[in-house]
Chain A
Amino acid sequence: MSTQLKPSDIPASAPKARVIVPADLRFEIADLYAAYTDTLDAADYKAWAEFFVDDAMYRIVPRENYIRGFPIATMHCESKGMIEDRAYACEQLNLVQPRVLRHFVSGVTIESAEGSDRFKVGANFLVVQTCFEQMTEIVMAGRYIDDIVRRDGRLLFQSRLCVYDSLLIPTSLVAPV
C-alpha cells in the first residue's frame, strides 16, 4: 500500500466548511483580496507588507511539504519585520530579470467568521509572468489559506499560507504571491 494522496488532503479541493456572512462583509473581504492582488500586480512590495499585522505569518509552501507536514517553505516570514525585509529584498537587493507578474484569484470562500472581526478564508490563486522574448508562462497555481483579522477598522492578514500545486517553479520565484 502506498501513501497515495487523497483528494481530501489537497487544499485545492472543496473547503470543509462555508458560512453565510452579510453582504457588506462579503464585499469587504472581496475588496481586501482585490486590493492585495492589485498591489502585487503593481509590484509595490512596500505596500504589500502593509496587508499584514505585526505578528503575522506569511508562508509560500509546496503542496508536498504541506501534506506531509514538512516545515520548510519556499518563502517563510514569521513577523511583519520579515515580511518587510522580503519586500525590500524584492525591490532592491536581488538580481531579477525584468518581468510582469499578474495574479488571478478565484473562488473566495469564507469558511468561518467570528462576528465581523475574524475570518478564515480560502481562495485559489494563479500567478503568470511575462518576460522579454518569451511567451507568458505560469509561475504557480495553488490555494490561499488565510486568517483575517480586523485592526483599527481595517481587515488585515494574521496569516496567509500559500500552498502551491505546481512544485516545479520556472527558474526563480522572485516575488511574494
Chain B
Amino acid sequence: MTESSTQSNGPNSRQWPDKNISSIPLWVYSDPEIYQLEQERVFGGANWNYVALSAEIPKTGDFVRSNVGDKSVVVTRGADGVANVFVNRCAHRAAAFCKEDHGNATSFMCPYHQWTYDLKGSLTGVPFRRGYKGQGGLGPDFKMPEHGAQQLKVTERNGVIFAAFDHDVESFEDYLGPNMLGYFDRVFDGREIEVLGYTRQRIDCNWKLMFENLKDPYHASVLHVFLITFGLFRLDQESAVEMDETGRHGALISRKGAQALNTATEQMTNFRSDLKLKDPRLIDVAKEFPGDISVVMQTVWPNLILQQQSNTLAMRHLVPRGPNAFDLNWTFFGYADDTPEMRQRRIRQANLMGPAGLVSIDDSEILSMSQKGIRPYPEESAFAEMGGTGTEDTKHMITEAGIRGFYKHYIKVMGL
C-alpha cells in the first residue's frame, strides 16, 4: 500500500462539499471509485468487522465462511480454542479455495494445485515443492511462512467474533467505547448463544443506506405500521439516539409505552387504531433484559447491525456487492438457557424481521426506491437536518443526528 492511497484525498477525485454532514452528496451511494476506496479504508484497515458468532464454530476444526466488506473470509476454531480468520484466497493462484459455507476440517486444501493450509491459514503443504527428479519445483529461497492465506487480527467477545485487516487496530473495547460496549454487553452478557437460523437477501441499494436506516428513528415513527400500531417503537415513547465519541457507532433506544391516540399519532398516518391481529401471539412480548428499555438497535461500524427488538435478536451482517447492491445476512439467535416459550417467541417474532419481515419489508423496499432516485443524480445531495446539524446524543426520535455522526467519521476515514 502506497502512502498516497492511505493519506490525503487518495486516488479518488471526489471532495465532500464543505465537509457539511447535513448535506450528503449522492455520489457516495453510486460512484464505483468510492466503493473501491470503502473496501480499502472502511472495511479494510483498522476497523473491527463482524464475521460470526462463536456458537457457529464451537469445536476445534469448525469453520464458517463469512465476509469482510466484499472479501470472502474463512472463520475457524483452532486446536488451541482460538478463533482464526483468513482470506479465502489461495496464496498461489488466488482461487477461493474454501467452497463450502460451513463444516469441520483439519486443514484446507486448494483443489487447483493442492496447496494446503492449516486452521490458522498458514501454508503447510505444496505438492512437488522440490520438483520431480530434480527438475522444476520452487526455488530454495521459497519460505512457507511467507505464503499463507492472509490472516486477519481476530477478537472474540462474549460469543461474537470480529476481524480486522490491520493488525495494529485498537482493542475492540476501545473501538466501541464505554457506552456502546454497554449496549453490546447487554445482549452478549456471557450467556451461551444458540443460533436459531439464517435468512439472506440482496437489496438493490448501496450498503450505507441500510446503515443509515438504523441511525434514523424519524422514519420508524412514520413508515412502519407494525411498529407504530403495536407500540413496538414509537416517537411518543421515551427514547434516545446515542453514539460513541467518533459518531461511527450508534444506538436507537426505546422504552415501551402504551399505544394510544394522542397528539403525536395524529401525524402518524400509518397508525391503525382499528388494527387487531387475529393471532396476537405474534407480538406476545416478554420482558427479558434488566431495566425498562425494550428496543436497542445498535450499529457497529462498519458492517453490523445488532438487533434487539422485543424478543427477536439478530445479527444483520452487511456485505457490499458493488455500489448499487449489498447482501443483508441475518443470523437469528437466542440463549441456550431460553425456556421453550421464549424460544417460540423468538421464532414467531422473527416474522417482523428478515427478507419478508412485517417491519423490515418496508425498509428494503424504500431503500431500493432510494437507490432508484439516487443513481441518476450523483451531483445532487440528500438533506439531513432533522434535529439540527449537530451530532449530539438526543432524548427524542425526530433527529438525523445518527446519520450526521456516521458521515462525520466517514469523511475522515475516506479522506473526503
Contact = CB atoms under 8 A, between A and B. Distances in A.
Interface string A143-177: 00000000000000000000000011111111000
Given A84-B278, A95-B361, A72 B196 contact: yes
10 contacts: A72-B199, A74-B356, A77-B351, A80-B278, A93-B272, A93-B358, A95-B362, A172-B355, A173-B355, A173-B356
B332 A85 contact: no
A105 to B, nearest CB: 20
B324 to A, nearest CB: 12
Interface residues of B, number: 44
Interface of A: 1-4, 60, 62, 64-65, 70-82, 84-86, 89, 93-97, 167-174
B26 interface: no
B103 A169 contact: no
A2 B97 CA distance: 14
B195 interface: yes
A71 B197 contact: yes
Interface of B: 100-105, 195-204, 223, 225-226, 272, 275, 277-279, 281-282, 327, 332, 343, 347-348, 350-351, 354-356, 358, 361-362, 364-366, 368-369
Given A74-B356, A96-B361, A171-B202, A82 B366 contact: no
B201 to A, nearest CB: 4
Contacts of A73: 197, 347, 350
A127 B17 CA distance: 45
A111 B13 CA distance: 63
Contacts, number: 132
A71 B347 contact: yes
B121 to A, nearest CB: 16
Nearest to B349: A76
SS class of chain B's interface: helix, strand, loop or mixed?
Answer: mixed
A2 B356 contact: no
Nearest to B348: A76
A93 B104 contact: no
A174 to B, nearest CB: 6
Contacts of B201: 168-173
Contacts of B354: 72, 74
Contacts of B343: 71
A168 B202 contact: yes
A64 B56 CA distance: 14
A152 to B, nearest CB: 21
A168 B330 CA distance: 11
Contacts of B332: 72
Given A1-B103, A3-B103, 8 more contacts: A4-B100, A60-B356, A77-B351, A86-B358, A89-B358, A95-B223, A171-B364, A174-B361
A3 B278 CA distance: 41
A85 B361 contact: no
A65 B196 CA distance: 8
A39 to B, nearest CB: 18
A71 B365 contact: no
A169 B242 CA distance: 32
A71 B105 contact: no
